[in-house]
Chain A
Amino acid sequence: MPTHNDHHLTALYRDSFPDFARLVHRRGGSLEEAKDCFHDALLIYLEKESAGTLHLHSSPKGYLLGIARVCWLRTRAGGPVLPLPENFSETPDPEDEDGQEREETLLRSLQKTGKKCLDLLKAFYYDHSSLQDIAEKFGFNGRRSATVQKHKCLEKVRAEIKTELCAAN
Chain B
Amino acid sequence: MRSELNEIRLIDQYLLRQLPAAEAHAFEARLLCNGPLAERVEAQRTAHRLVRLYARKEERRRFDAIFRRLQAEPAFAHQLKTIFA
**Interaction A to B:** yes
Task: Given A14-B76, A43-B56, A93-B49, decide whether A161 and B43 contact each other with a Cβ distance below 8 A.
Answer: yes
B58 CB to closest chain A CB (Å) equals: 7
Q: Judge whether A132 is part of the interface by a CB distance below 8 angstroms.
A: no
CB-based contact A122/B5 at 8 Å: no
Q: Judge whether B27 is part of the interface by a CB distance below 8 angstroms.
A: no
Quick one: which of A84, A125, A161 contacts B46, CB cutoff 8 A? Answer: A161
Q: Judge whether B45 is part of the interface by a CB distance below 8 angstroms.
A: yes
CB-based contact B59/A10 at 8 Å: no
Q: Which A102-117 residues have a C-beta within 8 angstroms of B?
A: 103-104, 106-107, 110-111
Q: Judge whether A135 is part of the interface by a CB distance below 8 angstroms.
A: no
Q: Judge whether A31 is part of the interface by a CB distance below 8 angstroms.
A: yes
CB-based contact A89/B45 at 8 Å: yes
The B interface, classified by DSSP as helix, strand, loop or mixed, is helix
Residues of A within 8 A of B43 (CB): 158, 161-162, 165
The A interface, classified by DSSP as helix, strand, loop or mixed, is helix
Number of interface residues of B (CB under 8 A): 42
Q: Which B42-67 residues have a C-beta within 8 angstroms of A?
A: 43-60, 62-64, 66-67
Quick one: which of B50, B53, B59, B73 contacts A161, CB cutoff 8 A? Answer: B50
Residues of A within 8 A of B79 (CB): 18
Q: Judge whether B21 is part of the interface by a CB distance below 8 angstroms.
A: no
Pairs A–B under 8 Å by Cβ, sample size 25: A6-B62, A13-B63, A13-B67, A17-B70, A25-B84, A31-B80, A35-B67, A42-B59, A43-B59, A43-B60, A91-B48, A94-B49, A103-B49, A103-B53, A107-B50, A110-B50, A125-B52, A127-B55, A148-B1, A148-B5, A151-B9, A154-B47, A155-B8, A161-B43, A165-B43
Which A residues are within 8 Å of any B CB, using their own CB?
6, 9-10, 13-14, 17-18, 21-22, 25, 30-31, 35, 39, 42-43, 46, 84, 87-91, 93-94, 103-104, 106-107, 110-111, 118, 121-122, 125-127, 148, 151-152, 154-155, 157-158, 161-162, 165
A122-B54, A151-B1, A157-B50 provided; 17 other pairs, C-beta below 8 A? A13-B67, A18-B83, A21-B80, A42-B59, A88-B16, A88-B48, A91-B52, A104-B53, A107-B57, A110-B54, A118-B51, A122-B55, A151-B5, A154-B47, A158-B8, A158-B46, A158-B47
